[in-house]
Amino acid sequence: MFHQVFACLDVQGFYVNNDFYPREFAIVNECKSGAQNIDTRLNIKDMCYEDQLTCRFLTNNFHGLTLRPKDPTDCLNIYEAMQCILKYQQETATEKKPYYGIKNDMLKRILHEFGIPHLCLESIGCPSHKILEQSFNQKLECDWHKNKNLNGCKQYICALRKCNNLWKWIEENSWI
C-alpha cells in the first residue's frame, strides 16, 4: 500500500456549527513541499459562544492559525484549494501511485466529498502524529508557523510539518 501514495496531504482548520473549515493545507512528496493558506470567510462575531470558544482554543493551543488571514489576497477559498489539490493529483499521480496519503478524519470527509482518491495511513499502521514527531524531529514548517513559533515558546501544529513526517514514514516503510 505504501507504494500507491504519490504525496501526503494535511489540513488544519476550525469547527463551526459542527462543520470543518480548512484554514491551511500542505502537500509533501519527493518533488514538492508546500503549504497554502485558505480564507475561511468566517467572522467570529457571527458564531455562537461555544464555537467562539472552540475557535479561540484551537488558535491559542493547537495550530495557532487565526480564523481569517491578515492578508486574504494571499489565500484561496475552499473550492479553489480543492481544485489545486485535485489538479496536483491529476498532474502527478500515476496508475501505480494514485493516492494522497492522509491521517486526518476531517480531510478524509472533504476528499471523499470532492472525489479525490486517498489512502488513510492509519489503516496501514501509521503511528500517531506525536510518535512521528518524536521519531523524525522535523523542523520543517510553513512560513506562517515558522514566524509564529519564533515569537513564543509553544510549537504549534503545522500541516506542512505533519505532511513531511508522514512522507518520511512512508519512505522508511516503502521497502515492506
What CATH number is associated with residue 78? 3.30.420
Name the domain count of the chain.
1
Range of the domain at 48: 2-173
Q: What is the pLDDT of residues 1-42, one digit of tens each?
A: 778 999 999 999 998 998 889 998 999 999 988 888 888 889
What is the phi/psi pair of residue 21, to 5°? -115, 105
Tell me which residue of 69, 163, 64, 47 sits closest to 107, measured CA to CA: 163
The verdict on pTM exceeding 0.85 is: yes
Contacts of 158 (CB under 8 A, 6+ apart): 12, 24, 26, 35, 63, 141, 142, 145
Work out the average pLDDT over 101-113.
Answer: 92
- Which position has the higher pLDDT, 75 or 51? 51
Contacts of 155 (CB under 8 A, 6+ apart): 149
Instruction: Extract the C-alpha cell encoding 93.
Output: 499521480
What does the pLDDT read at residue 84?
A: 92
